[in-house]
Amino acid sequence: MKRHKLCVFLLTLFTFLFLPHCKPQNLGTTLEKEIPRLMEKADIPGLSMAVIQNGEIIWSGAFGVRSRETNEPVDKNTIFEAASLTKTITAVAALKLVERQELELDKPLAEYLPYQRLAGDERYKKITARHVLTHTTGLPNWGDKLVREPGKLYGYSGEGFLYLGRTIEKISGMSLEEFSKKEIFEPLGMSRTSYVWNDLYDENGAAGHDRHGFANQKRRRTDPNGGASLLTTAVDYATFLCSIMNDKVLEPKTVDLMLTPHVKATKRREPRDELDEYISWGFGWGIQPGNAENGFWHWGDNGDLRAYTVSYPEKKIGLAFFANSENLFMVAESLISLVLDDPQHSFNWLTYKRLGDPEWTAYMTVEKTFLEEGERAGLEKMEEMKNQFPDAFKIEDLNRIARYLSSKEKIDEAEAIYKKIIDSDPKSDIALAGIGRLYLEAGRYRESLEYIQRTLEVDPKHSLAKMSKPWVKEAIQAEEKPVLVPEDTLKKYAGDYGPRHVYFRQGRLYYKREGRKEYELLPLSQDTFSLKGYGMFRLRFVLDKDGNATKVVGIYLGGRTDESLRDKTK
């Protein structure tokens, strides 16, 4: 008996000392006190979090507001964009098909579904599900050009998961939304999770906020994207995590395969081809060492909406949290430390700035000065901060500040930053391309073309300049030789296309996307139009055999497209 008690004591002591564990008593009280404090420090408007212990959700909380424009509170049913946490759901959906032998891990996806976005490079036909799940496709994060041979090296890619999602649709005969709803969401009771916009998100969804706390409109995604479009709650997503720990959605051997480190991740800072010491990738999940076992984790970053999750499968503990702020990762490690003792090597790999970083504070000060006091004061503050932090404010940093100011329609301020860079370095391709893009966004095509050409003189292979030049020249030609579209045709185009609305007034067409400003449409051809004052986007009307518009296709610089069907009820 004494021997038995000693064994029990030693086992308990070992578990306490060496196994990862949630922090003990009064966890809820601690979280409810500390989370608002961290949110205030990082200027985070709203946050939702769920904590798992013994494979069950033991606590969930909601804090702050969904949008600072409405001040409606976040509650436990508030839906957030999951961003790249989408990939973990898509991975499980793909592995469901693997279990049924409908999808082979090492069979090229092109044998299931040719992918037109990559049709110009035959190497894409080597890409397999295994490559996608381990981020070894050779694709960039987003884009239709391979950067290396498939299977050679880790390289994070949302594009790969977009392709995998469409392959799932081809194999299953259902949309990714329908398949996941049938196989994952409904069986697990994830009633507030979806790959596409829905009424629940419309009613109780979080709007994103930038790093200075300005609210943005909710994005209305109507096409499922296997890498980025998931909408969910902290409780729903934690339910999904529990299903992994409890083998409810996949077979145990499949879960083990999913959470096994298959490839070492490369570093996200230079030299980028160097392998990281701690971070590996399983199937759809990052894997990092904890105190006693590997944890599986992922982060989500849609800019103004961000998320993070980490769990330890043997101990069946974990957490997930979502915020409607670009500033989440400044305090994410502090949030996790309220619950778990395990080191989060992922944040060194991700390279996000932490709260209190002096250089980040300096960047924020400069941006705020430009926003509130204008061009001259901003330039003066920028020089002051550059003198104070000589290793900061590199060209890449200044480009980031200029891009932010441009997003706030501070065109003169952004232009001043680029011209200051060019004055000191006339061959800075970053600044030349940046101001070329700035003018393109503003619809100032001739000025844009000038700087695009200067960029190509410095770097003939510059990707942004190469794709922009024909786009800009086409717009200039349309200005010089206007395309005449009959008024009767323009009237047929007017209507509602989901979140997109087209109006006919006084012989002209106008376009407005929900939550954004209105633009006049300028014809490039009989069915394709540019936006006056915004050069990064075009709209094409698709007609039926009777000449009636049935949908519009949004065309983005670089070739990405999306569609919105016409509302026939109006």
- What is the C-alpha separation between 468 and 401, in angstroms, rounded? 22
- Give the start-to-end residue ranges of the domains of the chain: 18-350, 358-480, 487-565
Give the CA dihedral 9, 12, 18, 21, nearest 10 degrees: -160
Count the alpha carbons within 13 Å of 446 in the hemisphere toward its beta carbon: 4
Place of tokens 């893009």: 437
Pair 80, 48: CB distance under 8 Å: yes
Place of tokens 């008593």: 25
Q: What are the φ/ψ torsions at residue 127 (nearest 5 degrees)? A: -70, 130
The reported pLDDT for the residue numbered 91 is 98
The reported pLDDT for the residue numbered 515 is 76
Q: Is pLDDT above 80 for 569? A: no
**447-486 burial string, b = 16+ CB within 10 Å, else e?**
bbbbbbebbbeebeebebbeebbebbeebeebeeeeeebe
Q: Is pLDDT above 60 for 11? A: no
Per-residue HEC secondary structure of 152-208 comes to CCCCCCHHHHHHHHHHHHHHHCCCHHHHHHHHHHHHHCCCCCECCCCHHHHHHECCC
Give the CA dihedral 470, 471, 477, 478, nearest 10 degrees: 160
Q: Which residues contact 376 (CB under 8 A, 6 or more apart)?
A: none
Pair 541, 552: CB distance under 8 Å: yes
Residue 108 has what DSSP assignment? B
Pair 78, 323: CB distance under 8 Å: no
Q: Grade residue 558 by pLDDT with cuts at 50, 70 and 90.
A: confident
Pair 325, 209: CB distance under 8 Å: yes
Q: Sheet containing 534-543: give its strands across.
A: 495-497, 500-505, 508-513, 518-523, 528-531, 534-543, 549-556, 561-565
The reported pLDDT for the residue numbered 21 is 53
Q: Grade residue 117 by pLDDT with cuts at 50, 70 and 90.
A: confident
Write down the pTM of the prediction. 0.87
**DSSP H helical ranges for 280-338:** 332-337
Of 489, 487, 488, 495, the residue nearest 565 (C-alpha): 495
Structure confidence by residue, pLDDT tens digits, 37-92: 999 999 999 999 999 999 999 999 999 999 999 999 999 999 999 999 999 999 99
Q: Is pLDDT above 70 for 389? A: yes
The reported pLDDT for the residue numbered 220 is 83
- Measured between alpha carbons, how far apart are the two ends of the chain, in Å? 80
Of 178, 144, 174, the residue nearest 158 (C-alpha): 144
The reported pLDDT for the residue numbered 22 is 60
Q: Which CATH number fits domain 18-350: 3.10.129.10, 3.40.710.10, 1.10.3720.10, 3.40.47.10?
A: 3.40.710.10
- What is the C-alpha separation between 49 and 321, in angstroms, rounded? 4
- What is the C-alpha separation between 93 and 102, in angstroms, rounded? 12
Q: Is pLDDT above 50 for 524? A: yes
Burial of 138 (C-beta count, 10 Å sphere; 0-12/13-18/19+): buried
Pair 312, 52: CB distance under 8 Å: no
Say how many residues make up the chain: 570
- What is the C-alpha separation between 488 and 472, in angstroms, rounded? 28
Structure confidence by residue, pLDDT tens digits, 220-254: 888 899 999 999 999 999 999 999 999 999 999 99
Helix (H) or strand (E) holding 311: strand 306-312
**41-67 burial string, b = 16+ CB within 10 Å, else e?**
ebbbbbbbbbbbbebebebbbbbbbbb
- What is the C-alpha separation between 225 and 86, in angstroms, rounded? 8
CATH class of 358-480: mainly alpha
